[in-house]
Structure 1
Amino acid sequence: MVGLLGWLISFFVLIALLVLVVYQLMCLADLEFDHINPYDSATRINQVIIPEYVTQGGLFLIFFLTGHWLLALLCVPYLYYNIKTYMDNRHFVDVTEIFNNLNWEKKKRLFKIGYLVATLFLSLFWLIWSSVEDDELGF
C-alpha cells in the first residue's frame, strides 16, 4: 500500500510539473502572436521557474526515497540541467532578449513536456501495476 501511495504522489507531482511547463509555453506562444508584451510574458514565466525546479527536485526525491531507481535515474539529467542553469544564473527569462531567444525557449519547454509525458506514462504504468499487484495480494 505504501508503494501505491508513492506512485499516486509522484503522479500528481508530474501533473503539476506538466501544468507549470505548459503555462510557460502558453506565455511564449502569446508573446509570439503579440497577445502579450515582453515584460508581462517574462514576468509570468519567471514566477513559475523556481517552483518548477523545486517540484522537479521533489519528484526526484520521491522516486529516490521510495526505491524507484529507474525513474529516479531518468530524473537525473533534467535535475542536472535545472541545477546547472540555476548555478550559472541563466534560469530566468531576460525581458530584453526574449524575442531573440523565443524559438530556443519554446524548444526547451517542448523537450521538457516530452520528457514529462514519457515519465508520466511510465509512472502511470507502474501505478496501475502496483494497484493490481496489491489487489492480488488481498490488500
Structure 2
Amino acid sequence: MDSEYFYMICILVSSLLLFLTVYLMITLGDLESDYINSRDCAAKMNFWTLPRIGLQILHSVVLLCSGEWKILIISLPFSSWLVYRKLKQAPGHSGLYDPTEIHNRDKLRFNLAECLGFMGYHLASFFLYMYMIVSTLTGNPDNPTVTKEVPW
C-alpha cells in the first residue's frame, strides 16, 4: 500500500484521538467547576477508556506497517502509558477513573495534565501527517507547495 494511504489513516485516527482528548478535557473541566458530579464524570470517561487505548494502539500499528520508525518511537510511549495505566488499575475500581478518587485535587490535576499532554501530542501529530501527505502527493518532500503556475 502506498504511503499516502497510511498517512490518511494516521490523520483520521489522530483526529479522532484529538477530539476524544478534547472531550475528556472538557469533562474534567466540568468536574472541576462542579457542573457534573464525580460519578457521572467517571462514567463518561471510563466509557471512552478502551476505545481510546484501541485507537492509540491502532495508530502505532499503522505507523509500524508503514515503516515510519521515527514517528513510531515517538508514539510508543503514549500507547504504552495508556496500556500501563489500564493494567495498573486498582482492583475493585469501576474503571480507570474512579468516582471516589477523581475529585481529589491531586488526581484531578494529574488527569488534566495528562489530557493536556495527549492533546499536544495529537495536535502535533495531526499537523505532521498533514505535512507528510501533502509532501508525498506533490512529490517534493523539501517544499510541499506546488511550483507550477495556476492555469487560470
Tell me the TM-score normalised to structure 1 length. 0.90
Three-state SS of the structure 2 residue aligned to 1:36 is: coil
Q: Which runs of 5+ in 2 are unaligned?
A: 141-145, 147-152
Deviation of residue 131 (structure 1)?
Answer: 1.0
Which residue in the other structure is 1:95 paired with? Answer: 99
Which residue in the other structure is 2:50 paired with? Answer: 50
Which residue in the other structure is 1:9 paired with? Answer: 9
Higher relative contact order (CA 8 A, sep 6+): 1
CA distance in 2, matches of 1:63, 1:123: 11
1:97-133 CA distance string (max 9 Å, x none): 1111111110110011111112122211111111111
1:61-119 CA distance string (max 9 Å, x none): 00110111111111111112112112212661110011111111101100111111121
Q: Does 1:121 align with 2:142?
A: no
Q: Which structure dedicates a bigger proportion of its chain to helix?
A: 1
4+ residue runs over 3 A deviation? none
> Quick one: percent identity of the two aligned structures?
26
1:42-75 CA distance string (max 9 Å, x none): 1000100110010000000001101111111111
CA distance in 1, matches of 2:123, 2:49: 19
Tell me the TM-score normalised to structure 2 length. 0.83
CA distance in 1, matches of 2:39, 2:81: 25
Which residue in the other structure is 2:26 paired with? Answer: 26
CA RMSD of aligned residues (A): 1.7
Out of 130, 137, 146, the position equivalent to 1:131 is: 137
CA distance in 1, matches of 2:29, 2:65: 37
Q: Which runs of 5+ in 1 are unaligned?
A: none
Tell which structure's C-alpha radius of gyration is larger: 2
Quick one: which amino acid aligns to residue 110 of structure 1? L
Which residue in the other structure is 1:86 paired with? Answer: 86
Which residue in the other structure is 2:150 paired with? Answer: none
CA distance in 1, matches of 2:25, 2:132: 28
Aligned residues: 135
